[in-house]
């Protein structure tokens, strides 16, 4: 759909505001489906069974294979570096309508399309849902109630997300700049893990220690990358990584 929008979808004489409406609808549909995929992580089916019914379990967790498939899809379509590659031509055509009536809202602030704001808002919703205390607590319980090696563990979830979101730092083929969309996502991921550590209201001890461990590993990797490749990185990337490392240092010193 995005490719079609990028290939002169509008008819001659049609308003670009229609293109903006279509872009918004596709984006919302895209993330609505991504939110459905999230439900597989730590998901269970529940059946109102009675004694001697077949099967005999009221709660049946989503299989490990299906959960890993769901995580892989989220990595590819939500968190990957190339998940949102829109052409500058398309983004510069997303003009709003200035005509106001009962069925149309006129933007009160920016008229140009706030692409960073929209993307990070959706990514943040999915990331918060994946690392929500209820989901993490349920993952821990399912692992306890399942045969060893048959459940998605919290360490695997934490590590998969970190590997996907911080790919440029953790597994760089060659040093390269971190894009603005990725910097926003990485800061959001950082904020969530720091929140788990600093405000452990409903999260388990395991959630806190895993968040702490992931951030410690991240800081070590960032410091190594800055030491080895600083001269080959742009100022955006250097500032982003130094700021992240500084935040982590202050957190660990508290």
Give CA–CA dist 67/40, Å, rounded: 6
pTM of the full predicted structure? 0.88
pLDDT in tens, the chain (254 residues): 877 776 666 677 677 788 888 899 999 999 999 999 999 999 988 877 777 666 666 788 899 999 999 999 999 999 998 999 888 888 898 888 766 666 666 655 678 889 999 999 999 999 999 999 999 999 999 999 888 888 999 999 999 999 999 999 987 667 888 999 999 999 999 999 999 998 877 778 899 999 999 999 999 999 999 988 888 899 999 999 999 999 999 988 86
CA dihedral (153, 154, 155, 157) positive or negative: positive
Beta strands in 144-254 (DSSP E): none
- Cβ atoms 79, 161 nearer than 8 A: yes
Residue in this structure with the two tokens 């399309």, named with its chain if needed = 113
Q: Which two tokens stand for residue 129?
A: 């849902």
Find all residues with CB under 8 Å of 222, minimum gap 6, and list them: 169, 241, 244, 245, 248
Q: Tell me, what's the pLDDT at 79?
A: 95
């Amino acid at each position: 759909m995005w490719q079609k929008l990028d290939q002169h979808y509008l008819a001659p004489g049609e308003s670009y505001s229609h293109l903006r409406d279509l872009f918004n609808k596709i984006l919302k549909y895209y993330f609505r489906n991504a939110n459905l995929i999230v439900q597989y992580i730590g998901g269970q089916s529940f059946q109102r069974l009675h004694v001697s019914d077949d099967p005999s379990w009221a709660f049946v967790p989503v299989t490990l294979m299906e959960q890993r498939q769901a995580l892989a899809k989220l990595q590819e379509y939500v968190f990957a570096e190339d998940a949102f590659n829109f052409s500058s031509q398309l983004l510069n055509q997303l003009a709003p309508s200035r005509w106001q009536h009962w069925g149309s809202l006129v933007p009160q602030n920016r008229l140009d399309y706030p692409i960073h704001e929209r993307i990070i808002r959706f990514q943040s919703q999915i990331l918060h849902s994946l690392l929500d205390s209820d989901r993490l607590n349920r993952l821990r319980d399912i692992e306890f109630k399942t045969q060893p090696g048959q459940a998605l563990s919290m360490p695997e979830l934490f590590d998969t997300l970190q590997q996907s979101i911080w790919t440029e730092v953790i597994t760089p083929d060659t040093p390269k700049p971190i894009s603005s969309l990725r910097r926003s996502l990485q800061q959001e991921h950082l904020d969530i893990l720091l929140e788990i550590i600093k405000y452990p209201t409903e999260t388990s001890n395991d959630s806190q220690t895993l968040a702490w461990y992931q951030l410690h590993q991240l800081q070590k990797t960032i410091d190594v990358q800055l030491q080895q490749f600083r001269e080959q990185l742009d100022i955006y990337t250097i500032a982003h990584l130094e700021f992240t490392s500084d935040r982590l240092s202050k957190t660990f010193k508290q």
